[in-house]
Each structure stands twice: as C-alpha cells, then as structure tokens.
Structure 1
Amino acid sequence: MSVAMDHLASFFLLSTLFLHVGATSNGSVIINAYWKEVFPRTTMPDAIRALLPSSAKISDLVRRDVINNHHPVESKEAGRAYCPWCNTWGGIGRGHGSNTFNLSDDWSKRNRSPELAPLYFLRKDLLPGSKMNVTMTISPVADRGEPTFLPCQQAQAIPFSSSNLATILEMFSIEPHSEHASLARETLDDCETPALKGELKYCATSLESMIDFAVAEFGTNEIHAAVTSVVNRDEEVKARTYKVGVGGGRVMSRKVVTCHNMMFPYAVFYCHNLAWTRAYMVPLVAEDGSRVNAIALCHFDTSNWNPGHASFRVLGVKPGTVPICHFILKDLAWVPN
C-alpha cells in the first residue's frame, strides 16, 4: 500500500473513531473504568490522574477538520483550541522526561532544564545522613499544564511513527519547523531506537497500554506506580539541599518497570525494564523541615552504557564498575505491592 493510501486509511479510521467515541464519551471516564477493572483495590496516583483528559469531549483534542477533510493548517490561531497545552509545552523544556533515560546517547546532545536533571550518586549515598545537593523542584500536579492521555482506542488510531510525523503535527496544529515539532520528532526517534542489551522497552501511547505492559512484565496486577512526592505539600516548592532521613534508602523492588513522560502532543510514556535495576524509596529531609519521599533507581550493570553518559563524568567512574543510582522526579516506577 502506498504512503498516500496509508494516510487515507488512517484518517478514515480516525474519523470513524472520534465521531463515534468522542461524541458520546468522556475520555477520563473511559480511562478510569479501565484502571478500576485492572486495579480494583488501588487508588490512581495523583501524578497519573493529573494527566487524564478534562471533561471536554476527546474529539476536541485534535483538529477535526484535519481528521475529516485533511485540510492543511492555515494559521497558528486556528490550532490553539485543539492543542490547549502547546503554549506551555516549550516552557517545560527538553529535560522533562525526554531522553533522560536513553543510556546509549551522549548526554551533551540534549538541552535539559537543570532543575529536572537527575542527580547521579553511588549506592553508599543511600545511607542515613548522606547529603544530597539536589534541586528537587516538584511542581504541584495541577500546575504542570502537560499533554493528557487519550483513550487507548483513539491513541491506537493515530499513526505513531516517525514516517507519519507530518500527519501527527497537522492533526494537532503544530507548525512543522517549531520547537514542538522537534521535540515530537525526538520522542518518535527515541521510541524507534533499538533496545539496549538487557533492556525491554515499549512506548505507551495510552494509560491502558502502559498498564498492560507493566502487568505483563510482572505477571500480576498486584503492582502499583510509585512517584517522587512532597510530604508537606503546603510549603513553597524550591531548590534545597537534603539529607537522607532515618532508615536510609529502602529497597522497594529488585525488579522495576520505569515509565518516562515524553514530549508529545498527547501523553506518551517510554517504559522499560532494565536488567539488574532496583527501585528504592528514599526519605529526604531539608534543613527547613521540608520532606520528600523520593524514588531512586540503582543500576547494577552499566557495562552496556555509552562511555560518554553524564553519570560517568559526574561520578568519575567507568561503565560496568559500580552501581549507579539516580532519582526520578516526574516519572513512574511500577513495582510490586
């Protein structure tokens, strides 16, 4: 089938789905129902709930004129109602999830916001009293202004591939030469890059598909998504120097599926299971009394990592010599209950 025919088939399928599902259903209701079906005894974390679509119909999330008639974008103003988060998207910066996990890339290739960069440390730094000079700026979930999930059926109808980037950009009224287009292209490239040795990867284009991947990896639905969180939420969020609290870092699981929030017009997560990786819950306490329950990952086998990766420069070690740990601030760590 030709590329043109592929595009026509995609638009026909999209038109059918959005007219049928979008006109009658609320995306949040659909996704919530699936969560309750799989995890009947587990409350959805706030970090995930914040990414559910609003009460607006899901058909409002994309250019309906593009879906139905395949008309080109005529102006920037025309697309703003269909991609309401695009005016804040660039402000999030490339450090928000995008490629922070890609261990085969040189760190210098990406321009990251320093407050979102992971802090690399050694496993001994998980002991009580260890100082962590980390910029732990965790914004309230309601203030993030991030792209939201699409229900699985509709996400599957969107041609998620670099060969269809032009179609995706047009659907969401994104200018082809904008920073948003560049970020979307990077996400597709990351998702299509072959996995490392010992890594099982999957790009989840919906919450339902993320859940399915995590459940399949653990072989059970007795799992939950852990996320770094501020304990005393009423305090002003700012950069602080923390000490590891009483008890030190506690092993949550010797197996973890980590899902990193990517830059894309709708919520997409890069999920992977890296061999020889453990998840820790680390209590952090600052001098002003602010507390954070931080999720840390420790990678015990770094022999296949790129020697140019930032962690080796920061810690002064070589691949495959010692376990390397880092915090995850805005990503999800799926672990057993």
Structure 2
Amino acid sequence: MDFGFNSSIFILCSLLLFQRLQITEGHLKIHTTNMKNDDHMENHLRFRINQEGNSIQIPDKVSSLSQMDPALNLFFYYNDLKLGNKMLIYFPEKDPLTSPHLLTKQESDSIPFTSSQLPYILQLFSFPHGSKQALAMETTLNHCEFPPIKGESKFCATSLEFMLDSISNIFGLNSRFKVLTTNYVTESISPLQNYTIYEPPIEISAKKIVACHTLPYPYAVFYCHGQVSDNMLYKVMLDGDDGGRVEATAMCHMDTSQWDPDHVAFRVLKTTPGASPVCHFFPADNLVWIPVS
C-alpha cells in the first residue's frame, strides 16, 4: 500500500514500529512513566478526553480550567490566525524516554482493550482500583467506546498497523495519504510562553482530515476521528518570547453546532456551540492525516 510518506514520516513510522512491548519470562514490561507520577492526572485527562468531539465528564474540583492546566492554552479564535499576532501557547517538552510506545498489532491484540475487562487490565498493569491511573484508563476506554457524533468517523488505535488500515478505510482503499505533525524547529523551548506568528499562516488544502490525539494509557493509544464539516487546516510558524521556534499544525472548526455544550474549548474561549469557529494547535505527539492526489 502506498501511503505517500516523505522521508521524515517514514522515519517517524519506523520508530513507532520499533518501540515495542517487551515480554520477558512471561511477564509484560510496558513503559508507564507518564501514568506513574502525574500530579495533574485529572486535569490532563479532562483536556485529552475533551480536546475534540464528544466529551466524557469528570467532576470539576476548581472553577477555572485555565488555572488548572496550562495545557489548555492550545485553543484560540479564528481571528487570531494572522501575521504578527501574539498568543500564549503551551507546547510540552518532548522526552521520548517518558513517552508511551505504540505496540505492534500482534502485541496489541494480545491485551484486552475494553471497559468490560477493566479489572483484569488494571491487575495486568498493577494499578489499584480507584487510583488516578485507573480513572484515566477507564475514561479512555469509555471514550473509545462512545458512539460517534453525526457525520463523524472515529476509532482508537493501539498499533500503527491498525491506525494505517483504519485511515485507508476512511480515505478509500486505494488512496494515498500523508501525516502532518507539529515540529519544534529549535531543540529546547519553554513549555508555556507567548508566541508570535512570524510568517503568514499557510492553509493546507484537504478534502478529508483525520486527526489522531493521544489518550492517557500505559501504552500509546490514539483517538482518531474525522468529521464531515467545514474544517480548515493550517501550518503556522511561531517564534517564542522566551526562545524557541515551532512549526505548528493548527485546525479551525468552522461549524461546532453538533459539539457537546460542555466541551472544554467553549469554556476556554467563552463561547457556545455554533456561535463561532473553534481553533486549536496540535501538540507534537498528535498526528493529522490527509489524502494526497
């Protein structure tokens, strides 16, 4: 199958394929650093689950989401997307040693991924019932099992093979496609800082778009979805006040009338479904797939 990869995407997919689950003496060894010591698990979970599409509600513990989690500084207004504009944006530092790994399809198929098997899964990963990790895993499973909204195609991928097969089914079995990501132009950046758009944003033409977002889980889980609506995709060059440049991928959802009124974006931007477009930058660990002609 021809996916239309460029060289950088080929390297990315190769790395994902070789970051595999290790099985030693009959025991699973999966890197779970991102779940072990997250003091803001509820905040991270709320943002990731509600980042797009349907929302799974978690009780609020404080009134202001923006005060809870700096990672919410990814949403912006459509009119902000112009040369010279400055925005406060959160781009987390990338550390491949603490990032969860995508499994191979064979490995993924050997581990249950369903809420009905949650007690067994928690036992497998040695997470106590009722812990933050257990809550994150339960919410991720529920989100993946939640039915799509009107006009949406969605799936959760725990292996690269399954992701590529699912993307091919959405775009067409004989289609060619490529992936876009947010890239850090400089080696080190301050996670939360003011960024200035230093080049005119470039609109990326795509008839269909499938965005894949990471969800909290002991290994890599991508929530992927595409919706038949007026979505606009952009490449945005950003220059940080504290140093660091980012080549960011951004999407603007022009029609949000079908979104949940409790969607986190509406609370951050102080708007309501259908009232105005909602735009957001993609974190560096997200993937955006588009067909190529």
TM exceeds 0.5?
A: yes
Q: How does 1:1-337 map to 2 (within 5 A)?
A: 38-39=2-3, 41-43=5-7, 45=9, 51-54=16-19, 58-60=22-24, 64=26, 82-86=29-33, 89-91=36-38, 93-94=41-42, 95=44, 98-105=48-55, 109=59, 114-137=69-92, 139-143=93-97, 145-219=98-172, 220-233=174-187, 235-276=188-229, 277-288=231-242, 290-329=244-283, 330-337=285-292
**Alpha-carbon contact 1:51-1:147 (below 8 Å) kept:** no
- Aligned-residue sequence identity (percent) comes to 32
> Once the 2 structures are TM-superposed, how far is the Cα of residue 136 of structure 1 from its aligned partner?
2.5
Post-superposition Cα deviations, 1:97-150, rounded to whole Å, max 9, x if no partner, equal 73033543377647887232252222221111121111223x23424x122122
Aligned to 1:23: none
TM-score (norm 2): 0.82
Q: Which residue identity does 1:64 align to in structure 2?
A: G
In 2, Cα distance between equivalents of 1:223 and 1:176: 41
CA pair 163-311 structure 1, distance change in 2 beyond 3 A? same
**Alpha-carbon contact 2:86-2:197 (below 8 Å) kept:** yes
TM-score (norm 1): 0.72
List alignment gaps of at least 5 residues for structure 2: none
CA pair 244-179 structure 1, distance change in 2 beyond 3 A? same
> Once the 2 structures are TM-superposed, how far is the Cα of residue 251 of structure 1 from its aligned partner?
2.7
**Alpha-carbon contact 2:189-2:245 (below 8 Å) kept:** no
Residue 139 of structure 2 aligns to a residue in which SS? helix
Aligned to 1:12: none
In 2, Cα distance between equivalents of 1:212 and 1:306: 29
CA pair 177-321 structure 1, distance change in 2 beyond 3 A? closer
CA pair 114-187 structure 1, distance change in 2 beyond 3 A? same
In 1, Cα distance between equivalents of 2:15 and 2:126: 23
Higher strand share: 2
Q: Which residue identity does 2:251 align to in structure 1?
A: L
CA pair 292-168 structure 1, distance change in 2 beyond 3 A? same
Superposition CA RMSD, Å: 3.0
What number of residue pairs does the alignment pair up?
Answer: 280
> Once the 2 structures are TM-superposed, how far is the Cα of residue 175 of structure 1 from its aligned partner?
2.6
CA pair 208-246 structure 1, distance change in 2 beyond 3 A? same
> Once the 2 structures are TM-superposed, how far is the Cα of residue 245 of structure 1 from its aligned partner?
2.0
